[in-house]
Amino acid sequence: MSPPQTAARARPFRDGLLRLDPPRLLGSHCPACGTTAFPSRTFCPRCRAGDGLVETELGVEGRVHSFTVVRQAPPGVEVPYVLAQVDLPADDVRLMARVVGVAPEEVVLDMPVTLELAPFGTAEDGTVLLGHRFTAAAEVAR
Ligand SMILES: [Zn+2]
């Protein structure tokens, strides 16, 4: 299977946050203590090492640790939506992200979710800006 060609130009909404093909979040890994952090850090949040941190791709499979249903938002933002703390067990990382693919009332703790990239906006030059979110995984697709 060949990778799909993207017609419109796209890039992460923030440099260094994610990789587009294949979709992966980018964190930093500390060889000194083994801690992985997201987003990427210039020093280790656990042992404070400032040297030797390496960029690392995070796993795409997560679990909902906790969540809230957002019902009020600025104009232009569709509500309700689910904002969750998602654990990535393969990396021992917890991050904040939207969860999509199910109705808010169907989200439960420990629900399996999978990373996906979605348009986040458009840059002044027309480039599509992509951000990360997680979709409820009814079954493991990969
Ligand atoms: Zn460390």
pTM, whole model, 2 decimals? Answer: 0.86
| Residue 109 domain boundaries | 14-136
Task: Quote the number of domains for the chain.
Answer: 1
Average pLDDT value for residue range 121-126: 90
In a domain, 3, yes or no: no
**pLDDT-derived band at 3, boundaries 50, 70, 90:** low
In a domain, 142, yes or no: no
The continuous run of DSSP H or E covering 64 comes out as strand 61-70
In a domain, 112, yes or no: yes
Q: Enumerate residues with CB within 5 Å of ligand 1 (an ion).
A: 30, 32-33, 35, 44, 46-47, 49
Rounded CA separation 32/127 (Å): 38
Between the CA of 120 and the centroid of ligand 1 the distance, in Å, is 32
Amino acid at 140: V
Average pLDDT value for residue range 56-71: 97
Residue 104 confidence (pLDDT): 95
In a domain, 25, yes or no: yes
In a domain, 43, yes or no: yes
Between the CA of 103 and the centroid of ligand 1 the distance, in Å, is 38
Question: For residues 17 and 1, which has the higher predicted lDDT (pLDDT)?
Answer: 17
In this predicted structure, the answer to whether residue 108 has a pLDDT above a threshold of 70 is yes
In a domain, 4, yes or no: no
**pLDDT-derived band at 7, boundaries 50, 70, 90:** low
In a domain, 8, yes or no: no
Amino acid at 105: E
In a domain, 2, yes or no: no
